[in-house]
């Protein structure tokens, strides 16, 4: 049985409240779990003591048994000092999408055309009055 330490959502609509639980990975997100390990209330201020509460001793027990924390729970454990910090790197996150890249290319082409037009010597206007 592969165990996960994850968040189970509770609370009403638009008022989230989460339990930090040890659950079988095959169970539904808000379904059956083995043990409640703590709580997370995201609506509370970040400096509040009640925002994240967890039983560090029981979490360490489940980690020793091979339970894998989810990404969000892993960040909470790192903030609490229970697990060591891990380096995260997502170099593709900041790259623009296809449409944004096309807009940048189009803007660069217009700027190049404008610079070329400005650099070209201005032709003297033809005086029609002198021709008559």
Contacts of 33 (CB under 8 A, 6+ apart): 8, 19, 21, 22, 23, 24, 27
Within-domain flag for 41: yes
- Residue 17 is given by DSSP the state E
The 10s digit of each residue's pLDDT in 79-109 is 999 888 888 888 888 888 899 999 999 999 9
Domain housing 24: 3-80
Q: Considering the domain boundaries, does residue 22 fall inside one? A: yes
Is 110 contained in some domain? Answer: no
- The number of folded domains in the chain is 1
pLDDT beyond 60 at 124: no
Q: What is the pLDDT of residue 90?
A: 80
Residue 108's pLDDT is 92
**pTM (2 decimals)?**
0.67
Contacts (Cβ under 8 Å, ≥6 apart) of 117: none
pLDDT, tens digit (0-9, with 9 covering 90-100), for 20-36: 999 999 998 888 999 99
* 29 in any annotated domain: yes
Q: Is residue 109 part of a domain?
A: no
Instruction: Return the CATH number at 69.
Output: 3.30.1320.10
């Amino acid at each position: 049985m592969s165990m996960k330490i994850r968040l189970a959502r509770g609370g009403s609509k638009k008022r989230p409240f989460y339990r930090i639980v040890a659950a079988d990975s095959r169970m539904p997100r808000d379904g059956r779990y083995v043990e409640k390990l703590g709580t997370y209330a995201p609506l509370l201020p970040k400096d509040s003591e009640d925002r994240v509460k967890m039983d560090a001793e029981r979490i360490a027990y489940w980690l020793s048994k091979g339970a894998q924390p989810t990404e969000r729970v892993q960040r909470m454990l790192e903030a609490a000092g229970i697990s060591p910090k891990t380096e995260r790197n997502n170099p593709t996150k900041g790259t623009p999408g296809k449409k944004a890249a096309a807009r940048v290319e189009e803007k660069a082409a217009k700027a190049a055309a404008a610079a070329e037009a400005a650099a070209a010597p201005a032709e003297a206007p033809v005086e029609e009055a002198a021709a008559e």
